[in-house]
Amino acid sequence: NYCDTEYAFYEGKKQTLPEIVTAVAEFRCPLVEITGGEPLLQKNVLPLMSMLADAGHTVLLETSGAHDISQVDPRVHRIMDLKTPGSGEVDKNLWSNIDHLNKHDEVKFVIGSREDYEWSREQLQRYKLNERCRAVLFSPIFGRIDPREIVEWILADRLPVRFQLQMHKFIWTPTQRGV
């Protein structure tokens, strides 16, 4: 209920995988992030990520955590959300994905309330996510909760997490595209 790229579900243009890889190469950027909507719903995203890695890119996948990540090329860095109760999608978390996370992956919790924070803290501890992954990210829902509150909770609980803001929403208009 807080997706900031909802237009990605309805817009875009069809391209072949080689066309996409060529277009990405033209940016001359070594880091490529595959994000949403939900990229794992795209039919050819798995071979695309492998082709981008073959071309020498560092590839990141940002996924909702509702779809199987086990078939993702091991060279891809997975950033997986665990949906909190306030998202309305906590029942869509695919818990078996946790078994596929490794030291170059990240888990992200998007937090909109104290309840979301406490739930996230519990999952962090239950699954030892900070030991399993490179980073655990706590990120506020923009405009719904004061980021300072989450930081204070993290500090009080001495959690081994990184706090993350969607910087583009502070630098540009929160709904601006292409930033």
The pLDDT of residue 169: 79
Q: What are the distances in angstroms from CA 38 to CA 109, 129, 156?
A: 16, 22, 34
Question: Is 66 exposed, middle or buried (CB count within 10 Å of its CB: 0-12, 13-18, 19+)?
Answer: middle
Query: At 49, is the secondary structure helix, strand, or coil?
Result: helix
H-run or E-run covering 87: none
Q: How far, CA to CA in Å, does 135 sit from each of 19, 39, 128?
A: 33, 21, 11
Strand order in the sheet with 106-111: 31-34, 58-63, 77-81, 106-111, 135-140, 162-163
Model confidence at 4: pLDDT above 70: no
**Burial of residue 102, with CB atoms counted within 10 A of its CB: 0-12 exposed, 13-18 middle, 19 or more buried:** exposed
What is the SS3 assignment for 159?
coil
Q: Yes or no: say if 120 and 82 are a contact pair by the CB < 8 Å rule.
A: yes
36 vs 47: CA distance, rounded Å: 17
| 86 touches 112 (CB < 8 A) | yes
What percentage of the chain reaches a pLDDT higher than 70?
93
Quick check: 1 pLDDT over 60? no
Residue 172 has pLDDT above 90, yes or no: no
